[in-house]
Copies of this chain bind each other. A is one copy, B any other.
Amino acid sequence: MDYMKDPMGIEKRSFEIIESEMGEHNFSKSELSIVKRVIHTTADFEYMKLLYIREGAIESALQLLKEGTTIYTDTNMALSGINKAALKTLNSKVQCFVAREDVAKEAKEKGITRSMAAVEKAVEEGVDFFVFGNAPTALYKLKELTLKGMAKPKFIIGAPIGFVGAAESKEEIEKLDLPLITIRGRKGGSSVAASIVNALMYMLVKR
């Protein structure tokens, strides 16, 4: 059986196919690299329309990554999907707060979801780079803490997926005047969120 076996070769060819099928668009070079990676992850060209990149958001994310940052994720899947070698090169790390024991305990004590307790804990610990692929409640919590002046996020990826509350949670977070990238509507998810983080890192790190 004859088939292509070189992973980087496959990726390069995939991106060529994606670009050729995208048709006309107005994305900048750096925006385009995010859009293409999301389509690469989903095989779904609808993301061309769903991806919202606020002006200046990419620059804010790159600044944090250059300085070395701790990335919050709301799922182990998003954490798994983020390229660890690139992360290491950038002196950055990623943590799934939702999976932490102390967060589970606090959620139970307070009668809130683990996602909400996780955001509180991350804010307490000074995290300012947030990646959401799953839980709408976490986005609401971050908005609430930001409006109260208790959280000062410097970059947010808002990509919860789902049929109940996901789209609304992303509309709500977009109302904040903050650097953010969101997936509008129902779509998104952990793998999409991770792919956006990777696209950002690959702007800084040679592979």
Contacts and interface: CB of A to CB of B under 8 A. Distances in A.
Interface of A: 1, 3-5, 7, 10, 13-14, 17-18, 40-44, 75-77, 79-81, 112-113, 116, 136-137, 140, 143-144, 161-166, 168-169, 172, 185-191, 194
B168 A3 contact: yes
Given A77-B77, A77-B80, A79-B80, A163 B43 contact: yes
A63 B164 CA distance: 34
A42 B187 CA distance: 7
A176 to B, nearest CB: 13
Q: Report whether over half of chain A's contact residues are helix, strand or loop; otherwise say mixed.
A: helix
Copies in the complex: 2
B187 A113 contact: no
Contact of A40 (B3, B76, B163): B163
B3 A136 contact: yes
A201 to B, nearest CB: 17
Contact of A163 (B7, B14, B79, B189): B14
B43 A186 contact: yes
B164 A5 contact: no
A14 B140 contact: no
A10 B143 CA distance: 20
